[in-house]
Amino acid sequence: MTTTDIRSSNPTTADAAGTWRLGDRTINRLGFGAMRLTGMPWDEKPRDRDDAVAVLRRAVELGVNHIDTAAFYFTATRSANELISTALQPYPDDLVLTTKVGPARTRDGEFEYARPEQLRGQVEENIRQLGVDHLDVVNLRWGTGIGKDSGPVADHFGALAELRDAGLVQHLGVSNVTEAQLREAMSIAPVVCVQNRHGLTDRADDDLVELCGRHGIAFVPFFAVAGTAPGEAEEHGQGQAELAAVAQAHGASPAQVRLAWSLHRGEHVLAIPGTGNPAHLEQNIAAGALRLTDDEQNLLDSVGQAAS
């Protein structure tokens, strides 16, 4: 396989990463995560609202048709869902909005976890904020700051299955789950995606990635490029020399190589990098055109295995 160079004066579009069938919807594998649109807790000031709207509109112009969001993505003055609604309505016919329920945040920013009977209210809140009559995909985000060992998912996922039957939700997924919890959800209703933390140096869910592939379920890693806090992905300095070498060979950045590595894990693996910066948006989308050689993939795999 020849080495690709992704430096170009013309921006890459999201279809360069290929497509995946998410339920009955075809989406480009390179999507967009809305969490960073509002700004992060450590930011000195909120992100500029006009910039956030511009990033969303530019993402769609560049072929992004899968956006991940949640009603609990908000700051004191910004809401990701409201920004999406403002920027993109009327929504393109091919746009798939994926949201999450389970966690809720109080006005003080504290997280609470919904009981099964409260999930309908969360679904309806997302519907109102996004200005739609139903949700394309809803992920049950399991646990809040307590890891994945939160007990059975049956009652919560069963409640979402009832909302799907009622027409409020089209497709269901799960997030932050173990293999056993995924299998439990699958026994209740079809699961179209799993959204778990995973990346080059964060490999605890390698087996889950393979399980999803065998069952035709999309695996959607979050924090594939960076962690929740600045520099978290680089906290142990793992694989920096290898990342730099591969990046240089492709005219890419280490962050782009991380995204490309995730996409190379399988055609069922999607990417949802988020940013509030237009230049970073184009760089993220360009990563979808990066084709790693077998030797490069093996080199990066060994880095990740050593870090896990």
As a whole number of angstroms, the distance between CA 218 and CA 149 comes to 22
Tell me if 113 is assigned to some domain. yes
* 267 burial via Cβ count (<10 Å: 0-12, 13-18, 19+): middle
Burial call 118-153: b when 16+ CB within 10 Å, e when fewer = bbbebbebbbebbeeeebbbbbbbbbbeeebebeeb
SS3 percent helix, strand, coil of the chain, rounded to 5, is 40, 15, 45
Which CATH number fits the domain that encloses residue 145?
3.20.20.100
pLDDT of 146: 53
Tell me if 303 is assigned to some domain. no
Tell me if 176 is assigned to some domain. yes
Averaged pLDDT, 62-88: 95
As a whole number of angstroms, the distance between CA 304 and CA 201 comes to 4
Tell me if 206 is assigned to some domain. yes
What is the number of domains present in the chain?
1
Tell me if 178 is assigned to some domain. yes
Mean residue pLDDT of the chain comes to: 90
Averaged pLDDT, 156-169: 98
Mark whether 73 is an active-site residue: yes
Q: Quick check: 144 pLDDT over 70?
A: no
Residue with tokens 């209703």: 189
Q: Report the largest interatomic distance among the alpha carbons of the chain, rounded to a whole angstrom.
A: 54
pLDDT of 100: 97
Q: Quick check: 243 pLDDT over 70?
A: yes
Tell me if 186 is assigned to some domain. yes
Q: Crossing angle for the helix pair 154-165 and 119-130, nearest 10 degrees?
A: 50
Residue 122's domain spans which residues?
Answer: 19-237+267-276
Q: Quick one: pLDDT band at residue 1, thresholds 50, 70, 90?
A: very low
* Residues 300/306, Cβ–Cβ less than 8 Å: no
Tell me if 249 is assigned to some domain. no
Query: Which pair of structure tokens corresponds to residue 78?
Result: 């910004």
pLDDT of 59: 98
As a whole number of angstroms, the distance between CA 139 and CA 143 comes to 12
Quote the strand ranges of the chain, DSSP E: 19-22, 25-28, 32-33, 66-68, 96-101, 103-105, 111-113, 135-141, 169-175, 193-195, 218-219
Mode of pairing for the β-strands spanning 19-22 and 25-28: antiparallel
Angle at 31 between CA 30 and CA 34, to 5 degrees: 150
pTM of the predicted structure, to 2 decimals? 0.92
Q: Quick one: pLDDT band at residue 22, thresholds 50, 70, 90?
A: very high
Instruction: Kindly name the residue from 73, 142, 157, 223 that is annotated as catalytic.
Output: 73
Q: Quick one: pLDDT band at residue 112, thresholds 50, 70, 90?
A: confident
pLDDT tens-digit map of 258-282: 999 999 999 999 999 999 999 999 9
pLDDT of 171: 98
Tell me if 69 is assigned to some domain. yes
pLDDT tens-digit map of 188-201: 999 999 999 999 99
- What does DSSP assign to residue 202? B
